[in-house]
Chains A and B, each alone.
Chain A
Amino acid sequence: MFEFCTDPKSLETFQWFSCYLTTPKHMSMYYSLFTVVALILLTAPFGLMFGFMGAFASRSKNMIIRILGKGYTSIVRGVPDIVFFLFVPIALDQAIEFIRHKTLCWDVTEPIWRGNDFVVCRAAKMPLSEAAVWTHDVYGFLLAVVAFAFVFGAFCSNVLAGALKSVPRGQIEAGRSMGLGERQIRRLIEVPQMWIYALPGLSNLWQLLIKSTPLLFLLGVEDLVYWARELGGSKTSAYAYSHADWRLAYFTVLLLFYLLVTSISQRGFERMRKRLARGQNFSGAS
């Protein structure tokens, strides 16, 4: 990075660190921060969307839809989230390849599951084996996003269903007496008013989401945990920057980083709560 970095072995402590912390590998670690941020920013809206679908489904008049909605939330909440983080990407990947195999290679008659193998034809591979490396990374990342959104959608659905129930009945009755239809009541009265009830639950979920981003490591994404293990491990003198086992220091930095992010977002939610409570009759409105 800097000009004086050509011979790391001759450097003073300060210069050594300024060189060490700007090696290409460290740069990759800083870039992996964007992966974490992208995961959070993509999961939040999709999770909210799954949550709305689940919440409205579990209040539906149609019994089958209601059972589906309630089943979704209670099953996901009854099983450790990490099971879904491991299961959803591989299941989704196999489902996509299975469908592609059936449509693209309909002439292949051999079974797809052969003993302990899952074999699809070359054209059905996702992404194609000759595709660039980055497409594999992006595909893997998107599968992770779906898994996260699936899990957090169920939690969200529970929060939103509770919030929708908390909207005062009088408000809905007033809407009905004005001749609004079911959909209008939902759009004009229920959804705008439920946010203040949903906010504590949603802010909890947001913190939970931030704190579960390190699990990306388990899905083979090169995230902060991956780089902390990689860079922190002891480096012999064969390396340009040799050092002892520094993983403890790297993980300390990660802990502090997450502590910072969670406390900043906590403050953000506190401000949002005050804003939403403005003009309403709540004790926390001031």
Chain B
Amino acid sequence: MTCGEAVSAYLFRAIGVGERLLPSNDIGICEQAILIGSGVMWNIYFALFAVILGFFAATALALGKFDGGKFTKKFCELFIYFFRGTPLFIQFFFAYELFVLLPRLSIDIPLGFTTITAETRWFTRAWLGAAIVLFLNTAAYSAEIFYGALRAIPRGEVEAGAALGLSRWQRFRLIVWPTMLRLAWPSYTNEAIFLFHATTLVYFSSFPAWQQKGDALYYANYFAEKTFNPFIAYPIVAAYFIAVTLFLIFVFGRVNKRLTRHIF
């Protein structure tokens, strides 16, 4: 198979478009690079889903732990404690078994012009089930980072806001939240990178790669086992991950610049 053929056959294989059969003999570097690259889409999807939703959940959890009522505080503390104290790998197994036990229901969601049928069996698919686990996990880790930042906000700044007659919401939006983000940002960048790397666990835990639609590491592992040569497939994955990680650092660095623009 030439490189051009490999591109057209496997560029979107990970989402089910293109050649159905995976290469099994005479595996060239092109096929490996393209197929693994197509798997990276899944890693990026999981990371985006979890980080974006997790950001808001983490803010809420951190605020709950810092300044919530008795019950809210306890709940947030327990949530963070549980997800930070247990291995993600086992959380995947646990969640999968839990989702399998869900009664098989389908719920119709009317949207006016059309109707979507949501089925509970989607929870056993990686695109939803694993994404939820990653979301909860990163929410807990980020919440602890945000909580630490909340505790480090100088009291004087908040008091100054109160003295200016700002309402509670205004104090949060104008003082607490931006300062919290600025203080937390370096650690939060690390957490985002860790989460992106953790997405490789999805297809190695109990979530099956349905119709061999897997992530980058799933295909790399497939090639390493087929060719008995780990020295090509794994370095390709490594290269992809380093590239995306550098991009992530760049994006978070830009945000950091914006958060600290009044300082430098």
Contacts and interface: CB of A to CB of B under 8 A. Distances in A.
Interface stretch (B63-71, B87-95, B118-126, B127-135): B87-95
Chain A CB count within 10 A is highest, among B27, B84, B87, B226, for: B87
A225 interface: yes
B238 interface: yes
A96 interface: no
Contacts of A78: 238, 241-242, 245-246
**Interface size for chain B: under 10, 10 to 19, 20 to 34, or 35 or more residues?**
35 or more
Interface string A90-113: 110010000000000000000001
Contact of B228 (A118, A248, A251): A118
7 contacts: A75-B242, A78-B246, A83-B200, A116-B27, A225-B90, A251-B97, A258-B87
Given A90-B230, A118-B229, A255 B238 contact: no
A198 B25 CA distance: 50
Contacts of B136: none
A115 B228 CA distance: 9
Given A251-B97, A259-B86, A86 B224 contact: yes
Contact of B101 (A117, A248, A255): A248
A214 B229 contact: no
Interface in A209-245: 210-215, 217-218, 225, 228-229, 245
Given A82-B200, A254-B90, 17 more contacts: A78-B238, A82-B201, A82-B217, A86-B220, A90-B230, A91-B230, A116-B226, A211-B86, A214-B89, A251-B93, A251-B94, A255-B90, A255-B91, A258-B85, A258-B87, A258-B90, A262-B84
A259 B234 contact: no
A262 B217 contact: no
Given A91-B231, A116-B227, A255-B91, A248 B98 contact: yes
Interface of A: 75, 78-83, 86-87, 90-91, 94, 113, 115-118, 210-215, 217-218, 225, 228-229, 245, 247-248, 251-252, 254-255, 258-259, 262-263
A183 B110 CA distance: 74
B238 A75 contact: yes
A83 B237 contact: yes
Given A83-B200, A118-B229, A211-B87, A259 B82 contact: yes
Chain B CB count within 10 A is highest, among A211, A218, A251, for: A251
A101 B218 CA distance: 31
A9 to B, nearest CB: 26
Interface in B201-238: 201, 204, 217, 220-221, 224, 226-231, 234, 237-238
A162 to B, nearest CB: 13
